[in-house]
Structure 1
Amino acid sequence: MMKLRWDPSMLIQGQQTSVFWKEHFSQTGRKLLFILGKGFDVRMNIALTNLLYNSPSVDMTCWMIDFEEGEESSSNKYAAQVAANYTELQKLLGTRPLVEKQISLWSKKNQGKKQRIGDRQAAGLLTDFNQIAGFTDIIIDISSLPRGVYFSLVGKFLSFIDRFAADTPPNFFIVVSENADIDIKIKEKGIDEDIGYLHGFGGTLELASEREEPVVWFPILGEDKLEHLEKAHVQIRPNEICPVLPFPSKDPRRSDQLIQTYHQLLFDRLGIEPQNLMYVPERNPFEAYIRLTKAIYNYHKSLTILGGCKAVISTFSSKLLSIGTLLSAYELINHIGVGVLNVDSQGYEIDDYEEMKKLKDNSELFVIWLTGEPYTEN
């Protein structure tokens, strides 16, 4: 078995984050780059508020990613909420530098079609390591970023750090404000017509028209994703499917409810064997990464006689579990053909925004520490 990069690892959560920020940024010489998305989600500024409350004198520059969703997106109706979040961000930063980075999620229509380009444009925000070379610490807050954007963005930062600063890497963190009750209230509207592998996470799958190796698909299951699963299955045409369920989770019955929801698709139509079901902890992205990586590696090893296999990961669940899949794909992509197939929505609608605001204080912060001091100190 290959040595896993993030085992052991560093995960900080809940009330521990306040203590961590206070201790970490009290050290002299720290210079922080904080990256977040501009959006309607009430969790947009939670992590930054927590950090500045505990480390008010931190030397920080902020990048704000302003992603244009297109005129037809149902999310446009929440422009007032986006503006309120932006005003709050400006007040939090005060005189600290705020650099706005604009990207488009869609290309302009071509012969009646439009193409999703947000992942490629997100990766293009970092073109020269000198853009980040002066920072001792880098935080990407994914709480208000679409999956396609933060996958490619985090992947690009990791690859640049590994390539240009392997000996003296900065402390690189992913932060997310987790709140399942808020997630439930944000409904996806419309599914992409054309789906594909995320930029930087295509492996060799997107290039091969005639596949020789068997393909194993690992869909990370979440609520209300039946159409997404069906569309991904048609695109991938897997030889084997290993559905991944969140367990343990805050709701002990969640995995059972998901099996019940997708029973007809998984067992009756796709013929999945019960022993193919995988379980990963809902609130530990590193453990999800370890189990996924080992499962993919073991499949590849057992199918060596057939030339190995290719693996596809699709995440239809929380952002915490999405980070686990990101790390697994990043680690394996240069060793085994691994791709991340994303099925995105064309916009979002909220059941009750005022009710969602009331749930904001129940959000829990998670800090996923990926490079830097814990991994370089003897």
Structure 2
Amino acid sequence: MSEADFYWDVNLYCKKTSETKALWDSCIGRLSGKTLFVTGIGFDPRAVKSIEILFDKKAPPEQFHCLGIKSAADAVGANSAQKEQSNIRKLKELFPERLRIEHSIGSEKQTTSLALCILLKRLNKEHFFDEFDQIVIDVGAMPRVTFLTLVPKLLEQFIGDKGELNKKNMFVIALENAQFDSSITEHVTDANATFLHQYSLNSPSLSPDLPGVWFPIMGASRKDELETIKRDIQKVLRQDGVEVVPILPFPSIDPKLSDKIIGDFYHVLFEEFEVNYSNILYAAENDPFHLYRRLMKSFMKYAKNFTLLGGGRFVVSPLSGKLMSVGAILAVFEASRELSDERLPFTPLISAYDTQNKYYFGVPLVEPTQYKVQDNKVNFEHAELSLLWLLGDAYDE
């Protein structure tokens, strides 16, 4: 197994706004056919800001359309309702007669992830995505559970049977703004972890003795969420001794961020979870493909170690920024696909004698039931608009 066998061993990633804008103006914005933007509907101004950056605050041409998905919990404070209506009004101005808004909000009977999967199934029955040659997913204004469900579901739809990446152009963009993110407080009334619908460990009760490994992608101020997920993972796996492999952001914009996280989480990580220092991994905060490679290598290493045990179960919890979360879900998507029963006999990632093993993947999150937004003036001048080209013309052989 080598990195050359990974889907995105070679990739196209623009980290800065200047790089993204240059690629958009010279190439992506000129691609033939119709382009669909998929964005979040809510109080977050990034639903509009990213599009304004790409089109210099002008209305996009007629071949550009927009799908807005309302999936966030209610927000209070800082005139959140008015800001949501303002974002919708601006999107209608940018995409006159070309904006479609859908609701996908969780309830007591179904998680947000399941609600979104049901919505996507309905849209596919309408052949909604088939009319577009390019799809751009703007994760900046989306709740974590939304884009972590959406990205792999669309990849699954458009990627080739043998992992070909050139079937349809698909991009992810993200306008990261730490100042704005720090002004949002997530409130949880039901402190239980829920799994993404498509990554729920696939009925692990069928194989309760398989070993489990948990990869929390660490971020600041996530202590309660971390402890909740750990508790619920143990319930689902029915194991107390789950191996924990924390992944810390380094290098990062704040060079001391990893040290701060270790300091804040020291008791939880090293005393409660009994993490071995050698288990700590590092991945670049602003390069999602770096985290993707680290996770893929770890999945394959543990899969090889679990050969004599009949397989294993992998749990990934993205508690970090959105770019790192995208890198994490790309690794989960690829590894779960390549290690599935259908693909195991053919995958280049596992030796032939491993093909009788069973591998399960889970992505647990704690969904907020309400957002509280502080009334701060947001400055996007220093925020960077990043772009990942995941599928399409860039991967033509």
TM-score, length basis structure 1: 0.89
Aligned equivalent of 2:169: 171
**2:119 alignment partner, SS class:** coil
Q: How far does residue 32 in structure 1 lie from its aligned partner after superposition?
A: 0.2
Q: How far does residue 92 in structure 1 lie from its aligned partner after superposition?
A: 2.3
Structure 1: how far apart are the matches of 2:159 and 2:263? 42
Identify the match of residue 275 of structure 2 among 266, 269, 272: 272
**Worse overlay, 295-304 or 73-82:** 73-82
**2:197 alignment partner, SS class:** coil
**2:255 alignment partner, SS class:** coil
Q: How does 1:1-378 map to 2 (within 5 A)?
A: 1=1, 3-14=5-16, 15-25=18-28, 27=30, 29-53=32-56, 56-57=60-61, 59-67=63-71, 69=73, 74=76, 78-93=80-95, 95-105=96-106, 107=107, 114-127=108-121, 128=124, 130-162=127-159, 169-190=167-188, 192-204=190-202, 206-208=203-205, 211-237=208-234, 239-334=242-337, 335=339, 336-351=359-374, 353-355=375-377, 357=378, 359-375=379-395, 377-378=396-397
Aligned residues: 363
Letter in structure 1 aligned against 2:193:
I
Structure 1: how far apart are the matches of 2:390 and 2:169? 7
Structure 1: how far apart are the matches of 2:112 and 2:178? 25
Say if 1:43 and 1:360, in contact at 8 Å, map to a contact too.
Answer: no
Q: 1:28 to 1:271 in 2, by over 3 A?
A: closer
Q: How far does residue 77 in structure 1 lie from its aligned partner after superposition?
A: 6.0
Q: How far does residue 75 in structure 1 lie from its aligned partner after superposition?
A: 7.1
Letter in structure 2 aligned against 1:148:
V
Letter in structure 2 aligned against 1:235:
D
Q: 1:116 to 1:247 in 2, by over 3 A?
A: farther
Which deviations, in whole Å up to 9, do the C-alpha atoms of 1:218-248 show, x marking residues without a partner?
0011111111111111111252000110000
Q: 1:312 to 1:75 in 2, by over 3 A?
A: farther
**Unmatched segments (≥5 aa) in structure 1:** 108-113
Say if 1:288 and 1:321, in contact at 8 Å, map to a contact too.
Answer: yes
**1:361 alignment partner, SS class:** coil
Q: How far does residue 34 in structure 1 lie from its aligned partner after superposition?
A: 0.7
Say if 1:36 and 1:145, in contact at 8 Å, map to a contact too.
Answer: yes
Which deviations, in whole Å up to 9, do the C-alpha atoms of 1:148-189 show, x marking residues without a partner?
111111121111112699686111011111112222221111
**1:370 alignment partner, SS class:** strand
Aligned equivalent of 1:110: none
Structure 2: how far apart are the matches of 1:290 and 1:257? 24
**2:285 alignment partner, SS class:** coil
Q: 1:163 to 1:52 in 2, by over 3 A?
A: same
TM-score, length basis structure 2: 0.85
Identical pairs, percent: 29
Say if 1:203 and 1:333, in contact at 8 Å, map to a contact too.
Answer: no
Q: How far does residue 191 in structure 1 lie from its aligned partner after superposition?
A: 5.2
Say if 1:191 and 1:343, in contact at 8 Å, map to a contact too.
Answer: no
Say if 1:21 and 1:54, in contact at 8 Å, map to a contact too.
Answer: no
Say if 2:291 and 2:327, in contact at 8 Å, map to a contact too.
Answer: yes
Say if 1:122 and 1:150, in contact at 8 Å, map to a contact too.
Answer: no
**Unmatched segments (≥5 aa) in structure 2:** 235-240, 340-358
Say if 2:288 and 2:327, in contact at 8 Å, map to a contact too.
Answer: yes
Say if 1:300 and 1:310, in contact at 8 Å, map to a contact too.
Answer: no
Say if 1:115 and 1:194, in contact at 8 Å, map to a contact too.
Answer: no
Letter in structure 2 aligned against 1:224:
S
Structure 1: how far apart are the matches of 2:299 and 2:90? 43
**1:153 alignment partner, SS class:** helix
Letter in structure 1 aligned against 2:299:
I
Q: 1:37 to 1:75 in 2, by over 3 A?
A: farther
Structure 2: how far apart are the matches of 1:207 and 1:240? 17
**1:366 alignment partner, SS class:** strand
Structure 2: how far apart are the matches of 1:140 and 1:337? 27
Say if 2:215 and 2:316, in contact at 8 Å, map to a contact too.
Answer: yes
**Worse overlay, 207-216 or 4-13:** 207-216
Q: 1:272 to 1:125 in 2, by over 3 A?
A: same
Q: 1:26 to 1:4 in 2, by over 3 A?
A: closer
